Amino acid sequence: MTSEFTSRVNEPLFSICIPAYKGENFIRIAIDSIVRQTCKDWELVIVDDASPDRTWEVLQEYKNHNQIHLFRNEKNLGQGANFNRCLAHAQGKWAIVLAGDDSLVPHALETILSTTNDRSDIILWISAHLCLGNKTNPTIPPIFSQVKEFESNEFTETLYLHGGMFGEVSNFAFRRDRYVETCTHGFPETTSHMDADFWMRLMRSNPTARVIFWPEPLVHILIHEESRSSLDERSGKHIVEIFNSTEISLSIGWSRPVLLRQLVRMLWVNLKFFPVLPRGEKFRSLQTVRLIGREILRS
């Protein structure tokens, strides 16, 4: 086990971070998808969050690969904290947090590089994705059919209105150097859908930056019984959590029409999922509706 953060001589262009937990059955697929990348300027940082299964044993198969760096937490930190631990070890210009059961197509990194190499203003890059193992919905139509470029505020508004339509955390590549320079903290550690909160904070800290959406599916999201996507899908919790990011969203100062649309969406979410939410989440959802209503009256 490596407990201290390391400094590597040559900083890579891409840091692929895998926060691993109970991944013995799928993590080889994720790792091998990085090894097969046509762009070779990468490092792979994997932090095993004290998995009770054979995850750490499987990872030892890659311990001699000079671009793969393995770490293991002495005790389970939880998803958000392990995301942040991965980022603390990363040294690349760009970072991707790849779920341990997801994978990238071979030309994914090359595509990101070709569209951002001469653009210092782009700090967030999102691709469409393909779901595997989901018999009811094997393909998720991209939210946009063509390449789309966003200004910072336009993106946060779109993210808030469309929720999970952009996909999972694995869909996003971001400028790690800009994150280190401008963000005071990383992924929240108290919610399972901390990624939407993180993207909003990153863009809010970089108001002149831009975002690229790429409609070609460069990420394969594996849906299985124990995956985060599958568990959240069954509970409806993922939708409620995205809409509960009021600390950020309501402080941006959006227009009255946007707030009205969001109030309608939030009321629908409450009606649909309120019965299955834990008591604390029910209170948060009602509080969110109240806060949106207050912002509408002020606007």
The Cα 230–Cα 245 span in angstroms is 22
3-state SS class at 188: coil
| pLDDT score for 230 | 42
The Cα 148–Cα 127 span in angstroms is 10
CB atoms within 10 A of CB 47: 27
Environment class of residue 22 by beta-carbon count within 10 Å: exposed (0-12), middle (13-18) or buried (19+)? middle
C-alpha closest to that of 116 among 160, 149, 81: 149
Beta strands in the chain (DSSP E): 14-20, 42-48, 68-72, 94-97, 103-104, 122-132, 148-151, 172-175, 210-222
Q: Got the DSSP string for 248-284?
A: HHTTS---HHHHHHHHHHHHHHHHHHGGGS-HHHHHH
C-alpha closest to that of 1 among 87, 75, 100: 75
Q: How far is CA 280 from CA 32, 41, 173, 177, in A?
A: 40, 45, 32, 36
The Cα 159–Cα 96 span in angstroms is 18
Mean pLDDT by 10 residues, the chain (299 residues): 47 96 95 98 98 97 97 94 94 96 96 94 91 57 78 80 70 93 76 71 88 92 61 48 51 67 73 70 75 79
Q: How far is CA 146 from CA 221, 255, 296, in A?
A: 21, 26, 33
Q: Are 33 and 104 in contact (CB under 8 A)?
A: yes
Instruction: Quote the distance between the C-alpha of residue 278 and its chain's center.
Output: 24
Helices (H) and strands (E) in the chain, counts: 12, 9
User: β-pairing, 42-48 with 14-20?
Assistant: parallel
Domain extent listing, the chain:
14-233, 236-298
The CATH fold of domain 14-233: Spore Coat Polysaccharide Biosynthesis Protein SpsA; Chain A (3.90.550)
Q: How far is CA 239 from CA 2, 76, 78, 235, in A?
A: 37, 26, 21, 9
In this prediction the pTM is 0.77
| pLDDT score for 252 | 57
| pLDDT score for 27 | 96
CB atoms within 10 A of CB 6: 10
What type of residue sits at position 279? R
| pLDDT score for 68 | 98
| pLDDT score for 5 | 43
Question: How many residues would you count in the chain?
Answer: 299
| pLDDT score for 225 | 60
